[in-house]
């Protein structure tokens, strides 16, 4: 099969190669083979290509986890049949251990991370959902415990996870304030945000404290989809005493920033208030996709009903995967970057 493959770490433009006759070496434990129609890019995808050494992860590897396609082959007890239109993921475990991703004509997975595609979605739209949607759902609902009436601040609301977080929070009846650029405000408000705050203003943290510092306007939960340590340090000024700060990300594009990020996370988690720590509970959230099949089913139902919708920044042909990575690496994508494989 044709597949985009990297055999060493580095910039996607330098190490990704389109191979014409590639095959995965270990898929016997994965009962479902998918003909990939569309695949979506994620920040974790390009970070894996750039930063993770071969001693940690299998190489050669096919990048990315999010796909939509058609079941080509499956076991009789998988819950699917050949010809089913589906969307889902390659798990992080399979990527790390076996280099199995979806930027290829075929991929392999299991039923825990796969559901049938709603008929009202294109393959590109469906591919844009799994990782970002599951992450937002898990953080907000399962770990954050938001409900109708909760006040939620979403930082990074126009990115792939952010656009899902705004919609999911609104779906359960929360009041949502979202940070984004002035240019993205109309998009984010169109997704349901009650208010937007321009993160490019000169004193964002002071503005949040001033506007949302009273007891009635403070937040129950801050969801930081970018990884801004200074936002957490300032959070006692606008988060309730019973509130919390959850993040999924960190600006770890180089070894130096990776080390710095871990020190900051340690400070956030363990530094007592009397040593300069912050009183708001901090949690770094991780997605274990294999345990979230019920969440993926809920997402599919919401998509079918129109409660939430995909947000696609741009689409690229399979031959233009390097251009797709240029787009996501630019930091200007609003929603998801998708590759149409076939």
> What are the tens digits of pLDDT across the range 34-71?
999 999 999 999 999 998 888 888 999 999 999 999 99
Q: Where in the chain is the domain with CATH 3.90.180.10?
A: 3-129+310-340
- pLDDT greater at residue 105 or residue 251: 105
Q: Give residue 264's pLDDT.
A: 45
Q: Is the pLDDT of residue 258 over 80?
A: no
What is d(CA 184, CA 132) in angstroms, rounded to the nearest whole number? Answer: 18
Q: Give residue 58's pLDDT.
A: 93
Q: Give residue 259's pLDDT.
A: 40
Q: Give residue 279's pLDDT.
A: 74
In this prediction, what percent of the chain has a pLDDT beyond 70? 91
Q: Is the pLDDT of residue 24 over 60?
A: yes
Q: How confident is the model at residue 244 (pLDDT cuts 50, 70, 90)?
A: very high
Question: Topology of 3-129+310-340 in CATH?
Answer: Quinone Oxidoreductase; Chain A, domain 1 (3.90.180)
What is d(CA 85, CA 33) in angstroms, rounded to the nearest whole number? Answer: 12
Q: Tokens 């009635």 label which residue?
A: 216
Q: Is the pLDDT of residue 139 over 60?
A: yes
CB atoms within 10 A of CB 126: 29
pLDDT average, residue stretch 176-189? 97
Answer for the pair 160, 180: CB distance below 8 angstroms, yes or no: no
What is d(CA 312, CA 78) in angstroms, rounded to the nearest whole number? Answer: 30
Range in 213-217, 218-222, 268-272 with the lowest mean pLDDT: 268-272
pLDDT average, residue stretch 4-31? 96
Answer for the pair 238, 32: CB distance below 8 angstroms, yes or no: no
What is d(CA 48, CA 64) in angstroms, rounded to the nearest whole number? Answer: 9
Q: Give residue 56's pLDDT.
A: 86
Q: Give residue 311's pLDDT.
A: 98
DSSP state for residue 139 in the 8-state scheme: I
Tokens for 194? Answer: 């009650």
Q: Best-predicted range by mean pLDDT among 235-239, 269-273, 278-282?
A: 235-239
Q: Give residue 253's pLDDT.
A: 44
At the top level of CATH, which class does the domain 132-284 belong to?
Answer: alpha beta
Answer for the pair 32, 56: CB distance below 8 angstroms, yes or no: no
Angle at 156 between CA 201 and CA 39, to 5 degrees: 145
In this prediction, what percent of the chain has a pLDDT beyond 90? 83
Q: Where in the chain is the domain with CATH 3.40.50.720?
A: 132-284
**3-class DSSP state of 40:** strand
Answer for the pair 42, 65: CB distance below 8 angstroms, yes or no: yes
Q: Is the pLDDT of residue 273 over 90?
A: no
Q: Give residue 54's pLDDT.
A: 81
Q: Give residue 286's pLDDT.
A: 82
Q: Give residue 249's pLDDT.
A: 64
Q: Give residue 252's pLDDT.
A: 42
Q: pLDDT averaged over the chain?
A: 91
């Amino acid at each position: 099969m044709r597949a985009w493959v990297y055999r060493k770490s580095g910039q996607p433009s330098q190490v990704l190669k389109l191979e014409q006759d590639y095959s995965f070496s270990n898929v016997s434990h994965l009962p479902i083979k998918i003909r990939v129609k569309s695949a979506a890019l994620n920040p974790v995808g390009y970070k894996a290509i750039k930063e993770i050494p071969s001693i940690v992860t299998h190489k050669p590897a096919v990048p990315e986890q999010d796909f939509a396609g058609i079941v080509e082959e499956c076991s009789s007890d998988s819950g699917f049949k050949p010809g089913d239109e589906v969307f889902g993921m390659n798990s992080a475990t399979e990527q790390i251990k076996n280099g199995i991703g979806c930027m290829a004509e075929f991929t392999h997975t299991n039923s825990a991370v796969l559901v049938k595609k709603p008929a009202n979605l294109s393959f590109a739209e469906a591919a844009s959902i799994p990782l970002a949607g599951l992450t937002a759902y898990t953080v907000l609902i399962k770990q954050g415990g938001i409900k109708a009436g909760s006040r939620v601040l979403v930082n990074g609301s126009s990115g792939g996870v952010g656009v899902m977080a705004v919609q999911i929070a609104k779906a359960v009846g929360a009041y949502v304030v979202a940070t984004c650029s002035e240019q993205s405000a109309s998009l984010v408000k169109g997704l349901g945000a009650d208010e937007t705050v321009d993160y490019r203003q000169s004193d964002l943290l002071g503005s949040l404290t001033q506007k949302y510092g009273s007891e009635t306007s403070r937040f129950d939960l801050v969801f930081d989809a970018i990884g801004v340590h200074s936002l957490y340090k300032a959070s006692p000024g606008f988060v309730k005493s019973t509130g919390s700060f959850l993040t999924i990300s960190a600006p770890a594009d180089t070894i130096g920033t990776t080390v710095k990020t871990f020190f900051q996370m340690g400070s956030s988690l363990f530094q007592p208030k009397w040593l300069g720590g912050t009183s708001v509970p901090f949690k770094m959230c991780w997605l274990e996709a294999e345990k979230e099949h019920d969440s993926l089913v809920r997402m599919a139902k919401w998509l079918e009903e129109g409660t939430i919708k995909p947000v696609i920044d741009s689409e690229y042909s399979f031959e233009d995967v390097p251009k797709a990575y240029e787009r996501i690496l630019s930091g200007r994508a609003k929603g998801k970057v998708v590759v149409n494989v076939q």
